[in-house]
Structure 1
Amino acid sequence: MTRLAAAGAATAYQKEWFARLRAQAAAGEPIALVNADAPQELLRAMDIPYVVNQWWASVVAAKQRADDALQVLRDRGYPDYSRQYDAISLGSHFLADAPWGGLPQPAVVIAENSGDAARKVFDLWAELPGTDFYPLERSSAVEVPSRWWELVPHRWEEAFGSERIDLLAGEIADLAAWLTERTGRVLDVDRLGSVMDLVNEQAEWNRRTRDLVAAARPTPVRVGDTIPAVMVPQWHRGTEWGRDAARRLYEEVAGLVEAGTAVVPDERLRLMWLGRGLWYDLGLYRRFEERYGAVFVWSMYLAIAADGYLRYGPDPVRALAGRFAGITDQLYTPPWSTEWYVKEARAHGVDGVVHLVADDVPGSWFTTRALEDAGIPVLEIHASNADPRTGGPDRIDAAVSEFIERRLTERPDPEGRPPLQADVRSS
């Protein structure tokens, strides 16, 4: 099966966009580096070009330069074994031959305070002359609603609580003023409203695509294609291009479904990849198709783009706060995350889950237990998604093969054996 046209188009667009961004930076325009959990739509509305930290780390890892970037940190006396996904971009900034010409030095960096190590990474960015850091607070839920994905499009205040929305809405207003001081750009609230409208349209298309993929038997697309096809447009949320790219992905997938296209015509096993993308070994997602008739049909990227970003409301600042106040909860905090993962696994009819557990991901035990309690076998792989030293392709391949042979082809398990765990880190 050929690659999705939407994936190829998104990748080509991203390269062109990044070249333009580098030219803007060279001409003196201020560039921002933001974490994935930062309210990026604010920068979009203020016409401040930005790069998402995790996207750039994925490029460096996919180009097999992650260890080089981490070596830079080692050489400077910094740890290279914690929060690699956050730190790789910082290390890559000092590489003379970084991918795609390298990341321009940002004028501002923005990230949520998600732990001491992550905070220190961004503090180091701020030690560069000409770079300033704005830290956002992370709040916690007191009460957790059931089936949050049904609440958040319109009833997000109920889902996350007014206190959390108040905190982040105030920080967004303060951040806008802070950005104006450093860039001269001024927030137009009406423009932010238009950006939010485009994001909602994009999310609606992603929801339609996710539902198509969930219902299709056998699957017409593999996650190795849907990840770039959905995530590149996600980094351009609030633009007409991002919305239209999401629509084109839906139309392409709908055409494949109508034509009866199958990634594996003799599909025997449907797998869920739970966790971040394995950027240094993207070929993993195809490796088990011929061997076992097993295809990865789910990743969090399309799923969270479908369920996690819709926010309707008359106040765009408050709606934006409602979008990001609980984004981490949705993915990583039980029971928010566990209930959602079980829902997604059942909707996609998966036979088993490969759960990539990084050292900075909370709640992984609860996620695995919830899926196993729902009758869905889980393989836990303890490794970083961006640092190849923590999980070589051969070791991960062997772990997944053992899981398929031992847990998925022997179901039901009369011995009641516990979930498989694979610590594939180098000794």
Structure 2
Amino acid sequence: MSAAHAEPIGRLAAATAATAHQKKWFAEMRAEVASGVPLALVNADAPQEILRAMGIPYVVNQWWASVVAAKRMGPQSLQSISAQGYPDDSYQYDAIGLGSMDLPADRAPWGGMPRPDFVIAESSGDATRKVFDLWAKHPDTEFFAFERSSATTAPDDWWDVVPHRWEDAYASDRLDLMTSENWQLVEFLTERTGRTFDLDRLAAVMGLVNEQAEWNRRTRDLLASSRPTPVSINDSIPAVMIPQWHRGSEWARDAARSLYLEVEQAVRGGRAVCPDERIRLMWIGRGLWFDLGLYQRFQDKYGAVFVWSMYLAIAADGYPRYGNDPMRTLAARFVGFTDQLYTPPWSSQWYVKEALAHGVDAVVHLVADDVPGGTFTTAALEEAGIPVLEINASNADSRGDSAAVVERSIGEFLERRIAV
């Protein structure tokens, strides 16, 4: 169906359902923790599947930072970091969760996150490691750190290689190290919680994660081929990422399936986010949590629609792993996670592949201070003939006029480099 005859689409039911589920889960988690159940805070690059298999509730640091930022409590959380004598102008996305612990209960999002018993993260940089060391300064919180290993080679088209042939994609010593650390984490958690670990249970969790990723890949591929786009990324982000933080559960698998079926129905019905779609845009970088409305404000003036974010794409390509050894297969899921998003040529090849598949006319590239390799990504896209606007800003720090600067920069970019 042509754009001229497409009907506007409303809010995705999948997005609404995911948000409702998360609020219900968060309230139940708070009640569990209040009764004495231990809580973990984990970075997105840590193997949450182990916690899932052991029945230990966890909060993902990046998700909680996004909620705090979206509720406009990021500045106050960062002020808490500054008041403790630490810098509040770098690595804000990692630090906001820590600062949010000092928010008054009546102002903290969703009643506030309980203090975690454990924090778990990869040592991906000096500042990230120091942020998590600060969590462990509290007597009730311990820190388990994974090492950060580096890739020395990169396969072409890694997204086709890593699901099944991950031993070929990642160096054996990297997989050996993370597999060993996965077992160390099991020992760490078992000693402190009394919970048991069952390898068959982990295998079942891994199977559900793969099913979820397969549904996400179907959704990503369908959206890549759809003109005009039927789904706003304001909806696709929560509809994809909230289930991602519940990976390994039947609810998360079913949520991914429901999202695909809803998108398929939207495509068949010819609905469109912007019936007058003239410009297809790609947003590289983390979501601009304190101003999610930004993504829709260019539609009326320019017919410009953001049709891509990394959240659905990495959920499709970054997570499926198949193998007979659940613990080593889990290591293969995370050992190269940062490489895929930020280390060229892993990252640059992938972004170009995604840009071409989605038929984007231009890219807005938000580069945070803790994101390596951004220049290489921009250069690869420009070499492929895709104009890129590179913006250096924090996605979670709303202080000052950052939102206005981002919006103005995008408008000027569209007028200067894209035919509008």
Structure-1-length-normalised TM-score: 0.95
1:152 paired with 2:162, answer: yes
Which of 51, 60, 66 is 1:52 aligned to?
60
Q: Which residue of 2 is the match for residue 355 of structure 1?
A: 365
- For 1:182 and 1:108, the matched residues in 2 are separated by 10
Q: Which residue of 2 is the match for residue 203 of structure 1?
A: 213
Residue by residue over 1:27-50, the C-alpha shift from the partner in whole angstroms, topping out at 9 and shown as x without a partner, is 011000000000000100011000
- For 1:344 and 1:239, the matched residues in 2 are separated by 28
- For 2:400 and 2:206, the matched residues in 1 are separated by 38
Q: CA deviation at 1:389?
A: 2.5
Would the aligned equivalents of 2:393 and 2:402 in 1 still touch at CA under 8 Å?
no
Unaligned runs of 5+ in 2: 1-8
Would the aligned equivalents of 1:356 and 1:381 in 2 still touch at CA under 8 Å?
yes
Q: Which residue of 2 is the match for residue 322 of structure 1?
A: 332
Write the letter of the residue equivalent to 2:26.
F
- Structure 1 window deviating more from structure 2 (332-341 vs 257-266): it is 257-266
- For 2:55 and 2:309, the matched residues in 1 are separated by 31
Q: Which residue of 2 is the match for residue 418 of structure 1?
A: none
Structure-2-length-normalised TM-score: 0.97
Would the aligned equivalents of 1:273 and 1:299 in 2 still touch at CA under 8 Å?
yes
What fraction of aligned residue pairs are identical, expressed as a percent?
68
Would the aligned equivalents of 1:273 and 1:298 in 2 still touch at CA under 8 Å?
yes
Question: Superposed, which structure 2 residues align to 1:281-320 within 5 Å?
Answer: 281-320=291-330
Q: Which residue of 2 is the match for residue 423 of structure 1?
A: none
SS in 2 for 1:133: strand
Q: Which residue of 2 is the match for residue 82 of structure 1?
A: 90
Would the aligned equivalents of 1:383 and 1:391 in 2 still touch at CA under 8 Å?
no
1:365 paired with 2:357, answer: no
Q: Which residue of 1 is the match for residue 6 of structure 2?
A: none
Write the letter of the residue equivalent to 1:137.
E
Runs of 4+ in structure 1 off by over 6 angstroms are none
Would the aligned equivalents of 1:384 and 1:391 in 2 still touch at CA under 8 Å?
no
Write the letter of the residue equivalent to 1:6.
A
Q: Which residue of 1 is the match for residue 152 of structure 2?
A: 142
- For 2:414 and 2:193, the matched residues in 1 are separated by 53
Would the aligned equivalents of 1:341 and 1:367 in 2 still touch at CA under 8 Å?
yes
Q: CA deviation at 1:391?
A: 5.8
Write the letter of the residue equivalent to 2:375.
W
- For 1:210 and 1:328, the matched residues in 2 are separated by 21
Q: Which residue of 2 is the match for residue 41 of structure 1?
A: 49
Which of 381, 385, 388 is 2:395 aligned to?
385
Would the aligned equivalents of 1:199 and 1:237 in 2 still touch at CA under 8 Å?
yes
- For 2:36 and 2:267, the matched residues in 1 are separated by 47
Write the letter of the residue equivalent to 1:72.
S
Unaligned runs of 5+ in 1: 411-427
Q: CA deviation at 1:301?
A: 0.2
Q: CA deviation at 1:185?
A: 1.0
Q: Which residue of 2 is the match for residue 243 of structure 1?
A: 253
SS in 1 for 2:187: helix
1:92 paired with 2:100, answer: yes
